[in-house]
Structures are given as structure tokens and as C-alpha cells.
């Protein structure tokens, strides 16, 4: 009910619920007073529906046991609405909420597993890379909280970086990884389509291609260097090696988040890119983030975590 933006809907649901129960009660009451009706000759009056020549439908009252069973369900429903939420925004006398029950059950589980996480909380994440138990727990945390974007094998996909290589937008030290998991990241490549002409964008794209030793037009790359130094170097650096302080990627390697083709680079320069890594501090306890940090840190230290059929993606220019 908290999702409704108007109080009308809460009132509507509450009234409809209560009226429905009262209407069912009134119907039962009227049916309980019904008796078997007979004509002047003492024959039971039927509804007029006849099947197989002599099978007539009667209009007899409901059995008493059925009636009382129906009354019991109505009383139960009314009692439930008094104790628990169900009639609009009325919270119920018992004070129960689904959120409250979730928090209670979560607290109970956390109390049971707290000693296990406390065992690793004070250890250096780098040291935990070699701990099989810590890595097993970290892997399960990764599958639950990170695999949806980075893939179950941490190989990433288009727009989501691989965590198995040694290339990091913000740095790959445990402290930086923990900050990324805890507070999230938001990377923005501004669109330059309105600031640059089509030829300038094309030339800049070929200069970016030249930085990573890809096939490019040397003449266009030479013209695009000035544009890069004027506009792009502020984030990516004068040599295009990136800047971890702002999450600007290195453009001199072969790792691309959206692809490194001429078409994709032109699209990136023209339209820009926006990436968001959600913060997990409200979803995971610090002890879990600590173990998850150790697991992610270890992914790029021990090579490929699992076989994959697709090449590791990379970041945007």
C-alpha cells in the first residue's frame, strides 16, 4: 500500500475488503433462514430445471455444517484484518510487517554466521587470497551479488568489465576494490558530438586507434592528435594511459569495455558513455565486503577463474 501515491486507493481497498466480508455474512444469514418450499399439494417446489426426464433441481437450503464452516472463515478473516495489515493502510493491532519479519530473520542468520566472518575480518585481503575457505565464501558472495553483471566467471560482458585481468579503471588494490564495492562507482564519458565536427570526431577516433596499435589512417590520426590533446587528455592523460583518480581508462592497451572498432569509438566520442556500479553497503555487511574484496582481488592474481567461450571485454575510450 505504501506504493500508492494517493490516499484514495488505500481507502478503496479497505472499504472494498470490509464490505465484501459483510456482504458474505448477509448472504449467509439470508440463506440460513431459507426453508424447503412446497406447493398446495405438499410437493417440493423445484427451480424448473429437469434433466433425463425426471431429475429435477431443487432449491433447498444449504447444509448447516457448510453454513457454520462459512461463518468460521468469515470470523477468521475479520480477526485477521484486525490483527494484521490487509485493509488499506491500517497496520493491524499486532504490529506485524513483512519488513520487520525480514529484519528479524536476517538478524538471526547474521548472529549464527557472525563468528565465521569475524574469523577473517581482521586479516589482510591479500593474505586471504591463499585461504581456500575464505575464497570459497567470497565466490558464493560474488555469485549472489556480482555475477549478474560481471558474469558467473567474472569475465564481464559488453559494458561490464572483466575482473580477471590486471586492468582496473580505479586501481586494483584491495582498498580501492573495497571502496568500489562499498560506495559504488559512476563513470561518465561526456558526449562530444555537439562540440566537435564529424571530421574532428573521425580524426580523433583514428588517433585513439593508433594509441593501441590498431589498424588506422595515419593522416587522420595525425590530425586527431591535436583534438585529443585539447579535449581528451584532461581525463585520459597526454599519452592516453588513463587516470585511475577519475576512472578514465587506458587507451593504449587492447582492452575495451564496449569494443575497440572504429565504429564503436566514433559512437563513444559522439554520444558518450555512462556506467554505474551500485553501492553494496546497504546490502552487505562490512565483513562480507571484506571477503568479497579478497576474492575479487585474487581473481586477477591467479589468472582465469573459469574457462569461457567469449573474449574478455574491455573499457570505453
Domain boundaries defined on the chain: 7-37+45-83, 188-277
Q: Which tens digits make up the pLDDT trace of 79-108?
A: 999 999 988 888 899 999 999 999 999 899
pTM: 0.69
Range 188-277 classified under CATH 1.10.760.10: yes
Is residue 208 a contact partner of residue 258, using CB atoms and an 8 Å limit? no
Residue 189 phi, psi dihedral angles, 5° rounding = -105, 110
pLDDT in tens, 108-131: 988 898 898 999 998 999 999 999
Q: Of 254, 153, 262, 112, give the one whose Cα is nearest residue 201.
A: 262
For residue 2, what pLDDT is reported?
54
The pLDDT of residue 162 is 94
Q: What is the mean pLDDT of the chain?
A: 89
Amino acid at each position: 500500500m505504501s506504493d500508492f501515491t494517493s490516499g484514495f486507493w488505500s481507502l478503496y481497498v479497505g472499504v472494498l475488503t470490509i464490505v465484501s466480508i459483510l456482504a458474505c455474512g448477509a448472504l449467509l444469514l439470508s440463506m440460513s433462514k431459507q426453508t424447503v418450499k412446497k406447493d398446495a399439494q405438499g410437493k417440493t417446489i423445484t427451480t424448473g430445471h429437469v434433466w433425463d426426464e425426471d431429475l429435477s433441481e431443487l432449491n433447498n437450503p444449504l447444509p448447516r455444517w457448510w453454513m457454520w464452516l462459512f461463518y468460521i472463515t468469515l470470523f477468521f478473516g475479520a480477526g485477521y484484518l484486525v490483527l494484521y495489515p490487509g485493509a488499506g493502510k491500517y497496520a493491524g493491532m499486532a504490529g506485524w510487517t513483512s519488513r520487520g519479519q525480514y529484519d528479524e530473520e536476517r538478524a538471526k542468520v547474521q548472529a549464527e554466521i557472525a563468528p565465521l566472518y569475524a574469523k577473517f575480518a581482521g586479516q589482510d585481503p591479500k593474505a586471504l587470497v591463499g585461504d581456500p575457505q575464505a575464497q570459497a565464501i567470497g565466490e558464493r558472495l560474488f555469485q549472489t551479488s556480482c555475477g549478474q553483471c560481471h558474469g558467473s566467471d567474472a569475465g564481464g560482458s559488453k559494458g561490464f568489465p572483466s575482473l580477471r585481468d590486471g586492468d582496473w579503471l580505479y586501481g586494483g588494490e584491495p582498498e580501492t576494490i573495497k571502496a568500489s564495492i562499498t560506495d559504488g562507482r559512476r563513470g561518465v564519458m561526456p558526449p562530444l558530438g555537439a562540440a566537435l565536427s564529424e571530421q574532428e570526431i573521425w580524426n580523433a577516433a583514428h588517433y585513439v586507434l593508433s594509441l593501441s596499435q590498431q589498424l588506422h589512417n595515419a593522416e587522420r590520426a595525425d590530425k586527431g592528435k591535436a583534438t585529443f590533446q585539447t579535449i581528451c587528455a584532461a581525463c585520459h592523460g597526454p599519452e592516453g594511459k588513463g587516470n585511475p583518480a577519475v576512472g578514465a581508462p587506458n587507451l593504449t592497451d587492447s582492452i575495451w569495455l564496449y569494443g575497440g572498432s572504429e565504429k564503436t569509438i566514433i559512437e563513444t566520442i559522439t554520444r558518450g558513455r555512462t556506467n554505474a556500479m551500485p553501492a553494496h553497503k546497504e546490502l552487505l555487511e562490512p565483513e562480507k565486503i571484506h571477503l568479497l574484496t579478497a576474492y575479487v582481488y585474487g581473481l586477477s592474481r591467479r589468472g582465469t577463474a573459469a574457462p569461457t567461450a567469449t573474449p574478455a571485454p574491455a573499457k570505453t575510450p
